[in-house]
Each structure stands twice: as structure tokens, then as C-alpha cells.
């Protein structure tokens, strides 16, 4: 038992309750308890951390930037690839000796769900292990850990619940994440997510629309709808909205100027989504459509449930949209059994689509996944070679794509400033970074959160450079 904790605190007794409250919120004479949270992985995790942080702040905690200053240290983890998973254990090993100094360590997220109580064996100073499907119970679990209980877990996966909290503490005052669904019912052979996030569950359209209106009231102008597979959104309420209907409804919330969504599974991507983009100026000109491979043989072995031709049909729908929609993707090289000819098909797909941007990864074998049974591993050195070839090709495509925009005028949402370069940092509707300066003689009324019209003057593979156009700024 950890003797740092107030042993006299017996729940139910008045003195016990008061002591417990002191301990929970403010240790006597020491100000509020502090927490540190570090996040790995996808945007779902980033937003979960915002909700966890908000929940803690509502309980009287104060957030700090350094784990050394924190009473509670949380790592919100990712296990999508082996490298991501290793990060949390490397972080935890830095604190082995902190045990006994009153800190509480917690592991949240996908590694927590995947490894479960085994984490306590690997890192005995951890006392809290909670997967994302149990975040609703976080206040209760935290209370147990705060009261000195060791090995507190929240690992149930079979749930209908989503993490609903009114307390999210969002990182940006302008762009907000909004969860529409959690979990994944697909069986992509390489992917650990269905085992770490549980089955698909959607929030009601009424909850989502209310949150969008609240975000607008709080000054947000850009909303990003989040889900592992937003296209399979199923409204559990009698309104029965499908994803394109929900997308249109959020786009119609007055005052919301930009709406994005992530991620779309190509199998479920419909023409209706393109029609929604066509009829709502506030729906951003950007779709992330992960393809993973250009080879039908590999796609079938990955259990992606679409063919190259079906994927290209969806690209054709997007290319026929009224505005130029930027298309980005995820790719995996070296999936078991991927031949040189399969890889060549992925390269030819890059030429066929000309993605505006792509995230590419070496296949990483993950626990429990069906791909483990496939054998035919591609050697690590060959995966590395293929990744380098693919990334070089994509870099050239991206540079050419970006150069097509030189001379055009783009609206950006201003995100910040690079003082050293005297540049403002903006983001276009197509999700490109566009850094810009204000020409001499023009008043600089720019500030983060405003929208500005910017003329593109130069292009690199990863960003654009421009000048504030004479049309100026709009707040």
C-alpha cells in the first residue's frame, strides 16, 4: 500500500470525506494539484486528451508543461505501429526512480487497451491503465488512484458509450475537434485499432449539432468532425441522419465557416459527400481518403473491401466537384507478400491520382491482427527502400501540385506567427500551410483566428509562401 496517501480518509465519514476532498483537489497549503499529459497518435487521441484535460481541470487540477512538476503524469498512447508503442515505455523508464515521491502515473489510450495490466509488470510505478472506451469512468478511476489504490484499470471494450463531456479544454481557440463516432467495425488485416477502440458507436445528430452551436458561441469558426471511419456514421436517434446529411447540417450552423472531416474509408465514400461539398461553401476543399496500396492483390489481402478501380472511381467523383478538392492519403509499403510488381502498382497509382499529400509507412506487425498469420514477410531493408522510393516520388508530385497554385489567391485561417521570418502562418481550405507577409505600406491588422486573402508567390513540397492580397483581412 502506498503510505503517502491519507489512510484516515474513509469514504462516508464526514472527516474522511473532507480529507479526501482536500487530497483530491488541493493539498493543504500547496495550491491546486497539477497534471501533465502527453499525447501520441491520431487526432482522435489528441481530442481525447483535450477531453481528459478538461475533466481534470473541472476537478480542480492545474495543467503543467513539464512532467517533473506534475502530481499526476498521463501518457495518452498509440499502438498503431511498433515505434509508436515503444515511445510510452521509453517515457515511463525516465521516471522509474520517481516512484514513492507522490506522483501518480497513468497510461491511457491504445497501448493501455492493448497491453492492459501487463503494463504494471513492465512499469511498476504506473497505477492507472485506462483504454478510451472507459473514459466515461475516468473521474471515478482517478479517484481510486488518487486515494492510493494501486493497479486501477478501465479496460472494458464492449460498450455502447461514447466519451461525452462538457469540459473539453481545446488546444486552439479557433479550430475545434468534434467527435461524431468512436471505434471501428472494419477488419483491415494489419490494423490494431478495432482491438484498441472497440466497436463502432455514433453520437446522436442532436448532440453533435448542439456541440457545433456551442463551439460557434465560444468563438470557434472551424470544426473538424472526427471518427475512425466517418462514412459509417449511423445516427442512433430517430432523426436517422447518414454522414452526408450530418455533414450538411453541421455546415449549415450559422457562424461556422469551415468544416473538415477525418477519416473516410473508400469503401463507404459516396457521391452524396461530393454533392454536399458542392452545395456548402463551408465544407473544406479537402478529403483524406486512405488507399494503403495500389495493387488489387494486396488490397484483397489487407481486407480493405475495395479494388483499385473502385477507388479510382471515387477519385473521379472528387475531381468532378465544382471546386478543386485536395486529396490526401495513407499508404503502407511492405505488407506481407507485397511483390515488386505490387509495389509498382502503388507507384503508378500515385501518378494516376496525384495526391496533394500522403502519409506513408512501413508495415509494422501488430498483436492480434489477422496479417500475422499471412507469413511472407518483406525484409526490413526492402521496406525501407520501397518507402524511400515512394516518398521521393510523392515529394515530386506534391511540389508540382503546389506550384500549380502559384499566382492564385487563397483564403487562409491565420494560425500564428513566425517571428524570426516576419511571416504569418495560415492554412488554406485545402489544408495547405501558406506562410505570408504583409506588403510594405499595407497596415498589418492580421491576428491569429482571422481569415485573410493571400496571393501565392512561391511553392515548396510541403508549404506555400505568399503575400497578403490587397483585398485584405476579414475577422
Strand (E) or helix (H) holding 262: strand 258-262
Q: Which residues contact 20 (CB under 8 A, 6 or more apart)?
A: 6, 9, 11, 147
Grid cell at residue 474 = 476579414
Q: Are 213 and 230 in contact (CB under 8 A)?
A: no
CA dist 235 and 143 (Å) reads: 33
- Residue 186 binds ligand SF4, judged by CB under 6 A: yes
Binder of ligand SAH out of 190, 220, 306, 451 (CB under 6 A): 190
Q: Please state the closest distance from residue 262 (CB atom) to ligand F3S, in A.
A: 11
- Residue 45 binds ligand F3S, judged by CB under 6 A: yes
Tell me which of ligand SF4, ligand F3S, ligand SAH, none is bound by residue 20, counting a contact when its beta carbon lies within the kind-specific cut-off of 5 to 8 angstroms: none
Tell me which of ligand F3S, ligand SAH, ligand SF4, none is bound by residue 194, counting a contact when its beta carbon lies within the kind-specific cut-off of 5 to 8 angstroms: ligand SF4
Binder of ligand F3S out of 24, 49, 55, 79 (CB under 6 A): 79
Q: Please state the closest distance from residue 268 (CB atom) to ligand SF4, in A.
A: 9
Strand (E) or helix (H) holding 264: none
Point out which span in 115-123, 186-194, 402-410, 429-437 binds ligand SAH (CB under 6 A).
186-194
Tell me which of ligand SAH, ligand SF4, ligand F3S, none is bound by residue 189, counting a contact when its beta carbon lies within the kind-specific cut-off of 5 to 8 angstroms: none
- Residue 435 binds ligand F3S, judged by CB under 6 A: no
CA dist 110 and 87 (Å) reads: 12
Map 328-356 to HEC letters.
EEEEEECCCCCCHHHHHHHHHHHHHHCCC
- Residue 286 binds ligand F3S, judged by CB under 6 A: no
Strand (E) or helix (H) holding 122: helix 118-122
| Nearest to 179, CA basis, from 226, 130, 243 | 226
Q: Please state the closest distance from residue 178 (CB atom) to ligand F3S, in A.
A: 17
CA dist 434 and 245 (Å) reads: 31
Point out which span in 98-106, 308-316, 360-368, 391-399 binds ligand SAH (CB under 6 A).
360-368
Q: Please state the closest distance from residue 230 (CB atom) to ligand SAH, in A.
A: 9
Map 234-247 to HEC letters.
CCCCCCCCCHHHHH
Q: Please state the closest distance from residue 399 (CB atom) to ligand SF4, in A.
A: 28
For strands 423-428 and 258-262, give the pairing: unpaired
Grid cell at residue 305 = 473491401
CA dist 459 and 399 (Å) reads: 7
Point out which span in 15-23, 172-180, 363-371, 388-396 binds ligand SAH (CB under 6 A).
363-371
Grid cell 502498382 in the structure block, residue: 345
Which is nearer to ligand SF4, 170 or 308 (by Cβ)?
308
| Nearest to 130, CA basis, from 4, 24, 230, 45 | 45
Tell me which of ligand F3S, ligand SAH, ligand SF4, none is bound by residue 361, counting a contact when its beta carbon lies within the kind-specific cut-off of 5 to 8 angstroms: ligand SAH
- Residue 265 binds ligand SF4, judged by CB under 6 A: yes
Tell me which of ligand SAH, ligand SF4, ligand F3S, none is bound by residue 366, counting a contact when its beta carbon lies within the kind-specific cut-off of 5 to 8 angstroms: ligand SAH
- Residue 81 binds ligand SAH, judged by CB under 6 A: yes
Grid cell at residue 159 = 460498450
Binder of ligand SAH out of 290, 336, 426, 449 (CB under 6 A): 290
| Nearest to 402, CA basis, from 359, 349, 452, 356 | 356
Binder of ligand SAH out of 171, 330, 382, 467 (CB under 6 A): 330
- Give ∠ CA 321-277-314 in degrees, rounded to 5: 55
Binding interface with ligand F3S (CB under 6 A): 41-42, 44-45, 78-80, 109-110, 192-193, 196-197
Binding interface with ligand SF4 (CB under 6 A): 184, 186, 188, 191, 193-194, 228-229, 265
Amino acid at each position: 500500500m502506498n503510505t503517502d496517501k491519507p489512510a484516515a480518509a474513509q469514504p462516508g465519514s464526514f472527516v474522511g470525506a473532507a480529507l479526501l476532498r482536500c487530497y483530491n483537489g488541493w493539498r493543504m497549503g500547496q495550491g491546486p494539484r497539477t497534471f501533465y499529459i502527453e499525447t501520441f497518435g491520431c487526432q482522435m487521441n489528441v481530442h481525447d486528451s483535450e477531453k481528459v484535460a478538461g475533466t481534470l481541470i473541472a476537478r480542480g487540477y492545474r495543467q503543467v508543461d513539464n512532467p517533473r512538476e506534475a502530481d499526476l503524469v498521463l501518457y495518452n498512447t498509440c499502438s498503431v505501429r511498433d515505434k509508436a508503442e515503444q515511445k510510452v515505455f521509453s517515457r515511463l523508464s525516465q521516471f522509474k526512480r520517481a516512484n514513492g515521491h507522490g506522483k501518480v502515473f497513468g497510461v491511457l489510450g491504445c497501448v493501455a487497451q492493448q497491453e492492459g495490466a501487463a503494463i504494471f509488470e513492465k512499469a511498476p510505478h504506473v497505477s492507472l491503465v485506462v483504454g478510451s472506451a472507459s473514459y466515461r469512468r475516468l473521474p471515478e478511476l482517478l479517484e481510486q488512484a488518487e486515494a492510493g489504490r494501486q493497479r486501477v484499470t478501465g479496460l472494458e471494450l464492449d460498450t455502447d458509450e461514447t466519451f461525452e463531456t462538457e469540459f473539453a479544454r481545446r488546444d486552439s481557440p479557433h479550430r475545434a475537434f468534434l467527435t461524431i463516432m468512436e471505434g471501428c467495425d472494419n477488419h483491415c488485416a494489419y490494423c490494431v485499432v478495432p482491438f484498441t477502440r472497440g466497436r463502432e458507436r455514433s453520437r446522436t445528430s442532436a448532440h453533435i449539432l448542439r456541440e457545433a452551436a456551442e463551439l460557434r458561441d465560444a468563438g470557434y469558426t472551424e470544426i473538424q468532425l472526427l471518427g475512425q471511419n466517418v462514412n459509417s456514421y449511423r445516427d442512433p436517434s430517430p432523426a436517422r441522419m447518414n454522414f452526408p446529411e450530418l455533414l450538411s447540417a453541421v455546415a449549415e450552423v450559422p457562424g461556422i465557416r469551415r468544416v473538415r472531416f477525418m477519416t473516410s474509408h473508400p469503401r463507404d465514400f459516396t457521391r452524396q459527400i461530393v454533392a454536399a461539398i458542392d452545395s456548402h461553401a463551408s465544407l473544406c476543399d479537402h478529403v483524406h481518403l486512405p488507399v494503403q496500396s495500389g495493387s488489387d492483390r494486396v488490397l484483397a489481402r489487407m481486407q480493405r473491401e475495395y479494388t483499385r478501380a473502385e477507388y479510382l472511381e471515387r477519385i473521379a467523383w472528387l475531381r468532378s466537384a465544382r471546386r478543386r478538392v485536395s486529396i490526401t492519403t495513407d499508404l503502407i509499403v511492405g505488407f506481407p507478400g507485397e511483390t515488386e510488381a505490387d509495389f509498382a502498382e502503388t507507384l503508378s497509382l500515385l501518378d494516376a491520382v496525384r495526391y496533394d499529400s500522403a502519409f506513408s509507412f512501413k508495415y509494422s506487425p501488430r498483436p492480434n491482427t489477422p496479417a500475422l498469420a499471412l507469413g511472407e514477410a518483406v525484409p526490413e531493408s526492402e521496406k525501407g527502400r520501397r518507402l524511400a522510393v515512394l516518398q521521393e516520388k510523392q515529394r515530386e508530385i506534391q511540389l508540382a501540385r503546389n506550384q500549380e497554385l502559384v499566382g492564385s489567391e487563397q483564403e487562409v485561417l491565420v494560425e500564428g506567427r513566425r517571428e524570426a521570418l516576419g511571416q504569418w502562418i495560415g492554412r488554406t481550405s485545402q489544408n495547405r500551410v501558406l506562410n505570408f507577409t504583409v506588403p510594405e505600406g499595407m497596415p498589418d491588422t492580421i491576428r491569429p483566428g482571422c481569415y485573410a486573402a493571400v496571393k501565392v508567390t512561391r511553392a515548396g513540397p510541403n508549404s506555400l509562401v505568399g503575400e497578403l492580397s490587397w483585398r485584405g483581412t476579414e475577422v
